[in-house]
Amino acid sequence: MRYDPGRQIPASGGTVAFRRLPRALRKVTYSGARHPGAPTPECPSYDPARAGGAPGGAAADPFADLAGGANCQRYAYAVLRHFGLLIPPLRSAELWADEHATRRAAPPQPLDLVLFDSGPLDGRPAGYGAHVGVHLGPDQVLHLCREVGAPAVWRYADFAARPRYGRFLGAKRAVRTTER
């Protein structure tokens, strides 16, 4: 990743890192219908040209597809894209199984994706329906959920206190970067 002071891994976590994000990433509304892989026109899928700039060197607006809202995955992927990390449009079970664009990470480091769920579901793959957030630092996760309706920074205990997020499934680290 090229040096760009606005896009480096956050030196501080939590609300400080959140306040330093572009307004477009701080003002996203929750929409469960806008998930990775949703059909157009509701939710355009991942476009590498958007993630790394438009053809001919013109910069594309990487947040244009968030204007109508996002679910937790789309939001987390947009945050990572802001920092130059590229995640294809994977649903949570696909993300958990993925070994091409991500790798498992323990313990989580800043900008790792973290997954939470309510525990295994019979007949469903690991990670199915998991909630995805971005680890910002010790005990700080940036995420977008229906309960809040806008991006929020929670502690791991905040997730554990809610049955649907009660289990920390694990962390995934992006291994692909955008061309900048």
Residue 179 lies inside a defined structural domain of this protein: no
Domain boundaries, position 149:
5-174
CATH code of the domain covering residue 149: 3.90.1720.10
What is the token pair recorded at 35?
């998930």
Instruction: Assess if residue 150 is contained within a domain.
Output: yes
Q: How many CB atoms lie under 10 A from the CB of residue 60? A: 14
pLDDT class of 44 with cuts at 50, 70, 90: very low
Q: What does the pLDDT look like over 60-70, one tens digit per residue?
A: 555 667 888 99
User: What integer is the mean pLDDT of 63-86?
Assistant: 88
Q: Determine, yes or no, domain membership for 129.
A: yes
The model carries a pTM of 0.79
Residue 9 domain-assigned?
A: yes
pLDDT tens digits for range 91-110: 999 999 999 999 999 999 99
SS3 43: coil
Q: Which tops the pLDDT comparison, 122 or 40?
A: 122
Cβ neighbors of 164 (< 8 A, separation 6 or more) are 117, 118, 131
The number of folded domains in the chain is: 1
In a domain, 180, yes or no: no
Q: Pull the structure tokens for residue 148.
A: 């809040």
| Phi and psi, residue 160, nearest 5° | -60, -25
